[in-house]
A and B are shown apart, each in its own frame.
Chain A
Amino acid sequence: MEFAELIKTPRVDGVVLHRPFLPTVEGTLCLTGHHLILSSRQDNTEELWLLHSNIDAIEKRFVGSLGSIIVKCKDLRIIKLDIPGMDECLNIASSIEALSTLDSVSLMYPFFYRPMFEVIEDGWNTFRPADAFKDLESMTDEWRLSDVNKDFSICLSYAPLVAVPKDIDDETLRKVATFRHGGRFPVLSYYHKKNGMVMMRAGQPLTGTSGRRCKEDEKLINATLRPGKRGYIIDTRTVNVAQQAKAKGGGFESEANYPQWRRIHKAIERSNVLQESLIKLVEACNDQTHSMDRWLSKLEASNWQTHVKEILTTACLAAQCIDREGASVLVHGTEGTDSTLQVTSLAQIILDPASRTIRGFQNLVEREWLQAGHPFQVRCSQSAYSNTKSRQEAPVFLLFLDCVWQILRQFPCSFEFNESFLVLLFEHAYASQFGTFLGNCAADRVKLGLLEKTVSLWSWVNRQQELERLTNPLYEANSLVIWPSVAPQSLLLWEGVFLRWNRSSKCLDEAYEEMVHIIEYNKELQSKVNTLRRQLAQLETEDPLLQSP
């Protein structure tokens, strides 16, 4: 297919761009296969380059012959384009609609994008399961790397290599896979070095109404327990929801068959509920006419903050079982690709100092989201403005980032990255020139040939100039477990995402710069002091007479 077929009017002059808190720009609008470009064609004025894939919805308005297109982006920004001429406006609008909803993944921009920067380290090779396993091997010999899924035959959404207990052979894994939703048999998510406890994740067990059991499944998870120790199964669903799942062939681990495990049910909502929540929240944030009461009631009605609290609480619980109780944990919900990953990844943020570094966090996203089979493609295909309601979209990853931001707010010195890094990941998960978040699982990625045909986001991030922007100047390595407060009074609305386009951030940005200055000034002073001390010391050793009595 040629993009040109979809572009009836590639260029319009005299278009006026309106953006909140920024001056209007008049210029020429150009449509390309992947971008909407507005340029005033003057020096020193910035151009607007908007990826079509970033466009969530558009609205058309006409006043006389002047048409306006309101473009609502997946990063929640809203811009308005005034386009002279009815026909031009209609053409542009229909082109944008078509280009922003292309069905075929292989037509997406990452397949056409050629990096304008030097790739120092290929992000596709930065985080390989085999490397991660080497780290694990240095700590314990109780686990092995299995390639039972090398051709994605037993679990479509798992990576080809997964870590499993050493004593469990591939034949057992195959049997267990048939007993778990989507073939997602229990695999290692995190090994807590401090006490050797582990966190595993899986899909729900397929017990069904008949109470089917699977000896191999029991054997697998029991293999992770120390003699005489009990473990915890954290089911991210309420008891009711888990019960209802039985009717559809799903279910949960019964006490009778898993006597060494205690099951705890939590109430993390499912995808379509979360999507509704996001839509309501963004609507509330974008309405500037609200009174205080209306704002608070809309914020409450969106339930977004409730979801944040629930997810964080569950993650804290998992972390607590591991660190405080000295028990191993198995986490699952229904599919094991959404709420499960929120919990396992956040628990690692709490427990593992390494995941709080820039590289460690990339590694975490790679392991616990991309390799673990979170279906980014379907979850992030639409954001808060789209009218086309499919049941698949959900801000699962955005909620995870929000929770990380909450912990970052409470431990501002314990993270190597700053808020910008989280915002960047949010943007790229929804629309990107990089291939990292394309596809729904490792199998998709192989099928699409992402490694060969696209550039990894990490290749771009892991360069000096980007890292500088994303580094938290306050960071001081903190080797401890960090326990966030989950009281409602301690959790805040993530303004950096939800109010980003509705407020002027100038004052806050300037204060941030001032903070960076203070820190850098201090560093420079300290290094000067050290230099002079060395100089003086050297003089004194050269000439002992100089030494003051």
Chain B
Amino acid sequence: MEHIRTPKVEQVRLMDRFSNKSTNGTLYLTATHLIFVESSNNSSTAAQEIWILHHHIASVEKLSLTTTGCPLVLQCRNFRIVHFVLPRERDCHDIYSSLLRLLRPVSYEELYAFSYNPKQNDQQREEGWQLIDLRAEYERMGVPCDQWQLTDVNRDFKVCETYPRDLYVPITASKPIIVGSSKFRSKGRFPVLTYFYQERKAAVCRCSQPLSGFSARCLEDESMLQAISKANHNCRFVYVMDTRPKLNALANRAAGKGYENEDNYSNIRFQFVGIENIHVMRSSLQKLLEVIGARSLTMSDYLVGLEGCGWLRHIKAIVDAAVFLAQAVTVEGASVLVHCSDGWDRTAQVCALGSLLMDPYYRTIKGFMVLIEKDWISFGHKFADRCDQLDGDPKEVSPIFTQFLECVWQLTEQFPQAFEFSEWFLLQIHEHVHSCQYGNFLGNNERQREELQLKERTHSLWAFLLGEKQNYLNPFYNPVYNEEHPVLEPSTLPYHFKFWRNMYHQFDRSMHPRQSILKTILTLKEKSAKAESALQALENRLHQLGVTPVVTSDPPALPPTRDQRSNPNAMPPRPDSLILGAPVNHKEEQRRAEEQDEVGEDALESTDTERTVEGSSGTESRKQSYGELEGTYDELAKEEPAVVSLEFGVARMTC
């Protein structure tokens, strides 16, 4: 709290990002959040509230003083951009300097996760951490088996400090081979199993680049690959996928690193994939955000910008690589070794996405958590560095995990019935990867997390998300589809890749469809569940009276999916994330429409008609965003679908 000099500023204006509209309100600075509360001008509408977690703020900028006040612009990691105008410069400076300090914590202990208390007892918290069990996950894949075993070589993080303690290797890979191989691999990250495709006994392994330079070789490493090859009787060779562009790999040779020489390794098929490095990805996203942040963006500038930033090209490259991996494993029955430079960015993307294509389990809510826990958290994707959790090297920051989530989203667009979760789930995970509210993503690797005693001192995101599972269900999910199509074969033609508006414009309500199919259908499913139990109760009552009901609940006209049957009464509040557009029911729309009529006088005063029309949307967006505060508990008691914003979910837990 010592960093907060001015906890409250009144008469602050919040400017709309894409129009000239603004909202008046009060700004509060707390130890964890920056809060903007709209001053309610009439009693009929609830005042808009925006809660911004300090960790979500990527940058804060003080613009030069204008006649109307002192502008302060915040860019958040969840792609929210807020533009305040404070009446007095001194207040602005106070807030600015407090934020500068608050959004750059220097030690992990300052992160929100260590103070966040959702009123759970220790036992509940412990249970939360036990939800995901990676040993059980390997067992589910069929490992250990006659060819693969659990090794204790890294039990004390001695061989590789960025790997987890538990690692799975071929039976024939002896400890000397492992240790020898690890010395020949960048950061000691030797080849280990990450996914086992039981049907063909084919393995997906991952590692970092070999320290081959121009001519170096390592017999243990060669034996290691040999062991991986031998563990699969179905195929005579192992694919080695270097996920980097060839040029990058060549350049690495000069630094004593590089890639496998096919002459030295027997039975490997070497393949470059061409996914760019973290720096290219960082600047690509930066360019994308610049393009879509422009006001009065023309269609032509938008499409040229989309092409120029290369973002969708990178997304396609990752999906292409995952498709190659899945095809090699499921069609050819070959084992595949995936690596990039250090084996924690592109490798994680490709292994995780490839496994998701091969295994329907990872397309369920629980399975997706397991997948993230395995390929990202346990194998040491550097979340702390990539997501800039502490004040670190800006060159280490990169949207690698965001890209992974986007790749998954692109797949959900092609296969609407194959995923148990909806887009909301992906967005909520993204939100919390950056919120530092839960312990899961803190630190860079398992060893660091153990040192921080995260399991004792923080809470697990997975427990929270499972608790609200209903919110994240995809109503179109069909488990039968996955039985019939266990392996997804997406098309990667360019036009299948779309701009993910709901991620990058999540908080720009005027951009989104005003009615959401997803929300409508989810509400209907809830209603059906309620009707089912009502029907049952009525039948019982009639039977009690000795009367045969004129209609019966079974056989149901259409088989309800298992989720419909599950407890219909205890629905947690549904987030009305800005993503999902306006409320479903018309009363609210009506009310909003009436409000609109009161404003919008000035709209036509200029011939800049583009602006005029956008302005009308802007008006609406401002009025629409009152929804952000509507998730009060009274609201939930009513029949109407509850409306809560994503941030409100965060806000509520803070209190």
A interface, CB within 8 angstroms of B: 232, 264-266, 285, 288, 290-297, 299-300, 303, 305-306, 308-309, 313-314, 316-317, 320-321, 324-325, 409-414, 474, 476, 478-493, 495, 499, 502-504, 507-508, 510-511, 514-515, 517-522, 524-526, 528-529, 531-533, 535-536, 539, 546
**A487-B297 contact, Cβ under 8 Å, with A313-B610, A521-B557:** yes
Q: Report the nearest B residue to A304, measured CB to CB.
A: B299
Please tell me which one of the listed residues A313, A518, A528 contacts residue B475 in the complex, with CB atoms under 8 A apart.
A518
Report the separation of the CA atoms of residues A241 and B514 in the bound assembly, to the nearest whole angstrom. Answer: 36
Interface centre among A410, A532, A535 (most CB of B within 10 A): A532
Report the separation of the CA atoms of residues A499 and B91 in the bound assembly, to the nearest whole angstrom. Answer: 55
Stretch of B47-55, B397-405, B540-548 that contacts chain A = B540-548
Chain A residues with Cβ under 8 A from B306's Cβ? 296
Instruction: Check if A535 sits within 8 Å of B517, measured CB to CB.
Output: no
Q: Report the nearest A residue to B541, measured CB to CB.
A: A536
Interface centre among B299, B512, B586 (most CB of A within 10 A): B299
Report the separation of the CA atoms of residues A390 and B225 in the bound assembly, to the nearest whole angstrom. Answer: 65
Chain A residues with Cβ under 8 A from B304's Cβ? 297, 300
Instruction: Check if B556 sits within 8 Å of A487, measured CB to CB.
Output: no
Report the separation of the CA atoms of residues A324 and B475 in the bound assembly, to the nearest whole angstrom. Answer: 38
**A507-B417 contact, Cβ under 8 Å, with A409-B513, A412-B513, A532-B542:** yes
Instruction: Check if B604 sits within 8 Å of A532, measured CB to CB.
Output: no
B136 at the interface (CB under 8 A from A): no
**A474-B520 contact, Cβ under 8 Å, with A410-B513, A410-B514, A518-B475:** yes
Chain A residues with Cβ under 8 A from B475's Cβ? 515, 518
Chain B residues with Cβ under 8 A from A324's Cβ? 597, 600, 603-604, 616
Known: A515-B476, A515-B521. 20 other contacts (CB 8 A): A285-B495, A290-B494, A291-B313, A292-B316, A295-B494, A296-B312, A305-B299, A309-B299, A314-B609, A324-B604, A479-B586, A480-B590, A483-B514, A486-B613, A487-B18, A489-B505, A518-B525, A521-B560, A528-B535, A536-B538
> Can you list 10 residue pairs at the A/B interface with Cβ under 8 Å?
A292-B316, A293-B307, A295-B494, A320-B616, A324-B600, A412-B513, A480-B589, A488-B297, A511-B416, A532-B551
Instruction: Check if A536 sits within 8 Å of B542, measured CB to CB.
Output: yes
Instruction: Check if A521 sits within 8 Å of B556, measured CB to CB.
Output: yes
Please tell me which one of the listed residues B302, B316, B603 contacts residue A320 in the complex, with CB atoms under 8 A apart.
B603
In whole Å, how far is A266's beta carbon from the nearest beta carbon of chain B? Answer: 7
Instruction: Check if B524 sits within 8 Å of A532, measured CB to CB.
Output: no
Task: Give the dominant DSSP class at B's interface.
Answer: helix
In whole Å, how far is A76's beta carbon from the nearest beta carbon of chain B? Answer: 14
Interface centre among B316, B517, B531, B600 (most CB of A within 10 A): B531
Instruction: Check if B299 sits within 8 Å of A488, measured CB to CB.
Output: yes
**A295-B551 contact, Cβ under 8 Å, with A264-B607, A306-B300:** no
Interface centre among A232, A285, A514, A524 (most CB of B within 10 A): A514
Q: Report the nearest B residue to A540, measured CB to CB.
A: B545
Stretch of B100-108, B326-334, B496-504 that contacts chain A = B496-504
**A518-B524 contact, Cβ under 8 Å, with A297-B307, A480-B589:** yes
Interface centre among A295, A413, A518 (most CB of B within 10 A): A518
Please tell me which one of the listed residues A292, A476, A502, A515 contacts residue B517 in the complex, with CB atoms under 8 A apart.
A515
Instruction: Check if B303 sits within 8 Å of A520, measured CB to CB.
Output: no
**A292-B313 contact, Cβ under 8 Å, with A507-B414, A514-B417:** yes
Report the separation of the CA atoms of residues A296 and B616 in the bound assembly, to the nearest whole angstrom. Answer: 29
Instruction: Check if A489 sits within 8 Å of B511, measured CB to CB.
Output: yes
Please tell me which one of the listed residues A296, A489, A535 contacts residue B501 in the complex, with CB atoms under 8 A apart.
A489
Report the separation of the CA atoms of residues A159 and B415 in the bound assembly, to the nearest whole angstrom. Answer: 48
B528 at the interface (CB under 8 A from A): yes
Instruction: Check if B300 sits within 8 Å of A528, measured CB to CB.
Output: no
Q: Report the nearest B residue to A526, measured CB to CB.
A: B531
Instruction: Check if A535 sits within 8 Å of B298, measured CB to CB.
Output: no
Q: Which of B578-595 contact A (CB under 8 A)?
A: 584, 586, 589-590, 593
Instruction: Check if B609 sits within 8 Å of A300, measured CB to CB.
Output: no
Q: Which 10 residue pairs are nearest across A and B when measured between Cβ atoms?
A: A295-B494, A488-B302, A300-B303, A296-B307, A511-B416, A532-B538, A525-B531, A292-B313, A306-B299, A521-B558
**A485-B511 contact, Cβ under 8 Å, with A296-B494, A515-B521:** yes
Chain A residues with Cβ under 8 A from B298's Cβ? 306, 309, 488
B172 at the interface (CB under 8 A from A): no
Instruction: Check if A411 sits within 8 Å of B515, measured CB to CB.
Output: yes
Please tell me which one of the listed residues B497, B532, B604 contacts residue A525 in the complex, with CB atoms under 8 A apart.
B532
Please tell me which one of the listed residues B300, B316, B497, B524 contacts residue A300 in the complex, with CB atoms under 8 A apart.
B300
B interface, CB within 8 angstroms of A: 18, 292, 297-304, 306-307, 310, 312-313, 316, 414-418, 475-476, 478, 481, 491, 493-499, 501, 505, 510-517, 520-521, 524-525, 527-528, 531-532, 534-535, 538-539, 541-542, 545, 547, 549-551, 553, 556-558, 560, 584, 586, 589-590, 593, 597, 600, 603-604, 607, 609-610, 612-614, 616-617, 620
Please tell me which one of the listed residues A297, A483, A518 contacts residue B528 in the complex, with CB atoms under 8 A apart.
A518
Instruction: Check if A474 sits within 8 Å of B303, measured CB to CB.
Output: no
Instruction: Check if A313 sits within 8 Å of B613, measured CB to CB.
Output: yes
Please tell me which one of the listed residues B300, B301, B558, B614 contacts residue A303 in the complex, with CB atoms under 8 A apart.
B300
Instruction: Check if B545 sits within 8 Å of A546, measured CB to CB.
Output: yes
Chain B residues with Cβ under 8 A from A524's Cβ? 557-558
Please tell me which one of the listed residues B499, B515, B603, B617 contacts residue A485 in the complex, with CB atoms under 8 A apart.
B617
**A299-B303 contact, Cβ under 8 Å, with A489-B505, A490-B501:** yes
Interface centre among A290, A324, A480 (most CB of B within 10 A): A324
Q: Report the nearest B residue to A314, measured CB to CB.
A: B609
Chain B residues with Cβ under 8 A from A487's Cβ? 18, 297, 510-511, 614, 617
Interface centre among B300, B478, B499, B584 (most CB of A within 10 A): B300
Q: Report the nearest A residue to B296, measured CB to CB.
A: A487
Chain A residues with Cβ under 8 A from B312's Cβ? 292, 296
Report the separation of the CA atoms of residues A300 and B524 in the bound assembly, to the nearest whole angstrom. Answer: 39
Instruction: Check if B604 sits within 8 Å of A411, measured CB to CB.
Output: no
Chain A residues with Cβ under 8 A from B560's Cβ? 521
Chain B residues with Cβ under 8 A from A266's Cβ? 609
Instruction: Check if A532 sits within 8 Å of B550, measured CB to CB.
Output: yes
Q: Report the nearest A residue to B509, measured CB to CB.
A: A485
Instruction: Check if B476 sits within 8 Å of A531, measured CB to CB.
Output: no
Instruction: Check if B494 sits within 8 Å of A291, measured CB to CB.
Output: yes
Report the separation of the CA atoms of residues A317 and B604 in the bound assembly, to the nearest whole angstrom. Answer: 9
Chain A residues with Cβ under 8 A from B313's Cβ? 291-293
Chain A residues with Cβ under 8 A from B512's Cβ? 485, 490
Instruction: Check if A522 sits within 8 Å of B531, measured CB to CB.
Output: yes
Instruction: Check if B613 sits within 8 Å of A316, measured CB to CB.
Output: yes
Report the separation of the CA atoms of residues A504 and B558 in the bound assembly, to the nearest whole angstrom. Answer: 26
Q: Report the nearest A residue to B311, measured CB to CB.
A: A292
Chain A residues with Cβ under 8 A from B604's Cβ? 232, 320-321, 324-325
Interface centre among A299, A303, A533 (most CB of B within 10 A): A299
Chain B residues with Cβ under 8 A from A288's Cβ? 493
In whole Å, how far is A277's beta carbon from the nearest beta carbon of chain B? Answer: 12
Interface centre among B310, B539, B549, B609 (most CB of A within 10 A): B609
Instruction: Check if A529 sits within 8 Å of B497, measured CB to CB.
Output: no
Instruction: Check if A317 sits within 8 Å of B505, measured CB to CB.
Output: no
Chain B residues with Cβ under 8 A from A309's Cβ? 298-299
Please tell me which one of the listed residues B478, B496, B515 contacts residue A412 in the complex, with CB atoms under 8 A apart.
B515
**A511-B417 contact, Cβ under 8 Å, with A520-B558, A528-B553, A532-B539:** yes
Instruction: Check if A489 sits within 8 Å of B494, measured CB to CB.
Output: no
Interface centre among B494, B497, B547, B553 (most CB of A within 10 A): B494
Q: Report the nearest B residue to A312, measured CB to CB.
A: B613
Instruction: Check if A528 sits within 8 Å of B551, measured CB to CB.
Output: yes
Instruction: Check if B535 sits within 8 Å of A508, measured CB to CB.
Output: no
Chain B residues with Cβ under 8 A from A495's Cβ? 495
Instruction: Check if B617 sits within 8 Å of A499, measured CB to CB.
Output: no
Instruction: Check if B299 sits within 8 Å of A491, measured CB to CB.
Output: yes
**A489-B292 contact, Cβ under 8 Å, with A316-B616, A507-B416:** yes
In whole Å, how far is B168's beta carbon from the nearest beta carbon of chain A? Answer: 34
In whole Å, how far is B634's beta carbon from the nearest beta carbon of chain A? Answer: 25
In whole Å, how far is B146's beta carbon from the nearest beta carbon of chain A? Answer: 38
Report the separation of the CA atoms of residues A478 and B587 in the bound assembly, to the nearest whole angstrom. Answer: 10
